[in-house]
Amino acid sequence: MLRRQIGRKFESLRKSAGLTMEQAAERLDRARATLHRIENGAEHVRFRQADVQQMLDLYGASTDDRELLLALTAATRENKNWWHDYVGSGLPRWFQLYIGLEAAASNIRQYEAELVPGLLQTRAYAEEVFRTPGGSIDAKDSSERQRAIQLRVERQALLTRFSAPQLSVIINEAVLLRRVGSATIMAEQLHQILKAAELPNVTIQVVEFSAGLHAGAMAGAFSILDFPKDSNGKEVEPPVAYLEAATGAIYLDKPHEIAAYDTIWADMTSRALTEPRSKNLIQQVAEEYSRA
């Protein structure tokens, strides 16, 4: 969050100075890719005070903007988020940004077509997921796999913390029926979902196969994150849509992109089972696994 705010401020100052990113990079004697990472809030950018002052001089920043950005960039050198312990071992750099955004979000909406969302997974279910080739973690590296699983478990504290975000989840019926590991693991996992659904800030809905074609079938799995508002009712951070693949992720925050995913979400909520009916279906499938 902090780095994204810094990035937006630097981008605004650059544009106010009438400079393209290429022109600014040349005059700062820095790579264009470095400026791109700064303006996009990349987690691993280091803000040395001398470099920040050079950018502020080039952009003709006001006294207020100079004080603000010098303070904000200094904070990035002092603060360490809890998930940094996982960097370099089990946590891809492109995923760091998502964890930071997730931790700061006030509202998280997720659609999953194949798997239980990470915030709801049991440890046993997660172990089966990370043991399968094709993900961002090397399925053959036991130590990285265990660190990734531990990270996933620790992230779940988000749901019960003070000022926890609202989590709204829509899952495809296939998520319930596709066995991940044993029947025992699946029964435990579905009961975990039902337990989470008891939290006042968690809602879970299921899209049955009988719902037919829906917008999520076209879009695939995604998350939409909304952020708190300040005292003036303005969001401190623009909404973000997140799409993950095996080797990277896409972060979308342009208004038309968010509007498109809002439309997809609205279509899916209208086609999904109500919360009570979704819970009944999950309970029914869990009992079938228990008997298996």
pLDDT of residue 76: 78
Q: Dihedral angle at the C-alpha atoms of 273, 167, 155, 129, nearest 10 degrees?
A: 20
Q: pTM of whole model > 0.85? A: no
pLDDT of residue 153: 86
Specify the higher pLDDT residue, 123 or 72. 123
pLDDT of residue 68: 80
Lowest mean pLDDT among 33-37, 150-154, 204-208, 287-291: 150-154
Specify the higher pLDDT residue, 145 or 285. 285
Tokens of 33: 């890719």
> Do the domains spanning 2-79 and 93-291 agree at the CATH topology level?
no
What are the Cα distances from residue 210, in Å, to 3, 61, 156, 220, 270? 44, 58, 31, 18, 13
Domain 2-79 has CATH 3.40.50.300: no
Q: Taking residues 96-119, what's their average pLDDT?
A: 90
Tokens of 75: 């904070």
pLDDT at 168 over 90: yes
Interstrand relation of 249-252 and 240-244 (parallel, antiparallel or unpaired): antiparallel
Lowest mean pLDDT among 22-36, 67-81, 145-159: 67-81
Check residue 144 and give left, alpha or beta (phi > 0: left; psi -120 to 50: alpha): alpha
Which CATH code is given to the segment(s) 93-291? 3.30.870
Looking at residue 264, what DSSP letter applies? H
pLDDT at 25 over 70: yes
Q: Angle CA(204)–CA(159)–CA(283) in degrees, nearest 5? A: 35
Q: For the chain, give every domain's residue range.
A: 2-79, 93-291
pLDDT at 250 over 70: yes
pLDDT of residue 136: 58
- Give CA 45 to chain center in angstroms: 19
Q: How confident is the model at residue 79 (pLDDT cuts 50, 70, 90)?
A: low
Specify the higher pLDDT residue, 85 or 221. 221
pLDDT at 282 over 60: yes
The stretches of 198-271 forming alpha helices (DSSP H) are 215-219, 255-271
Amino acid at 194: L
Pick the closest to residue 206 from 108, 274, 264, 270 (CA basis): 274
CB 112 within 8 A of CB 231: no
